[in-house]
Amino acid sequence: MSRITLAIHGGAGTILKSTMSPSIELSYREGLQAALDNGYNILAKGGSSIEAVKSAVMVLEDNELFNAGKGSVFTNEGAHEMDASIMEGNSLKAGAVGIVKYVRNPIELALHVMLHTEHVFLGGEGALQFAQQQGLAIENNDYFFSQFRFDQWQNVKNSETFQLDHSPFSTKEKKIGTVGAVACDQFGNLAAATSTGGMTNKKFGRMGDTSVIGSGTYANNATCAISCTGHGELFLRAVAAYDVSALMEYKGYSLNEAMEEVVNKKLVFMEGEGGMIGVDAKGNASMIFNSEGMYRGCRNSEGTNEVQIYR
């Protein structure tokens, strides 16, 4: 039996202890630990990696501190358009959704795409119709409203610019808001899941890497499971998640070596800021980022249980 492992992230960027109040830092740590415990408990009871990553991400989607689900940022039109994807490493099956409105938990919808359709990727109104058909929780706009996100939008809504997720406590602090989870269950099966509200003031149905299998999310039992958080356009161009797997498969890199190559060499060369979490079929985990910080956590059956924010 494999070492069971779960790793999660809640976004990356310029996250500095000097600009974080103790109470807000505690709230982030508690939110991360709740998601970590939720997903890990599923693994500890013999549950599958796919169920563990889905459940961990749903906890983060339900927490308005994180830019996914309830905490999603505002688009240029004052709406919330969410992206999510999920993949399991045994069969290489995957599901993804983009530009989704009103769905409480986009990651749950992505899993339903994987399990209950012959498709991989649904978007927009069609994805919403499928969610309703599947009986998933649908919310009105009030559910997704938070003053913090609204104020972010007000700062840029009449401009031609967009903003990566950032903190209300300092205009110098920039956070790249995506949530995700990767897991290895007792049978060595891997899974990855990622969810986001995207960029504040985004236009024209913009989607980043989160909903794109191979860029923001990837899982293959032969190599690794990866969930990314960063400037989506650069992670898309780098095909970042799959690139880690390819380095492991074709060059024999370890998980950590492959992630270092992609995050701290390839993406840095492309000026792509962010990070990723990964796990392999032996239960080894790695959490690597090239920004000042990344909300992250890891728990395994050998006693590791940690939540971290700063570099």
| Angle, CA 283 vertex, CA 228 and CA 307 arms, to 5° | 60
Which residues, 6 or more positions from 246, have their beta carbon under 8 angstroms from its beta carbon?
none
Cα 61 → chain centroid: 10
**Which among 229, 216, 267 has a CA at the least distance from the CA of 12?**
229
Taking a C-beta distance cutoff of 8 angstroms, is the pair 291, 176 a contact?
yes
Cα–Cα distance measured from residue 8 to residue 276, given in angstroms and rounded to the nearest whole number? 9
Taking a C-beta distance cutoff of 8 angstroms, is the pair 84, 114 a contact?
no
Cα–Cα distance measured from residue 139 to residue 157, given in angstroms and rounded to the nearest whole number? 24
**Which among 292, 287, 220, 242 has a CA at the least distance from the CA of 7?**
287
Candidates 5, 75, 178, 200; catalytic one? 178
Strand order across the 274-280 sheet:
217-219, 224-230, 274-280, 285-289
Active site residue 223: no
Cα–Cα distance measured from residue 18 to residue 300, given in angstroms and rounded to the nearest whole number? 30
Residues designated as active site:
178
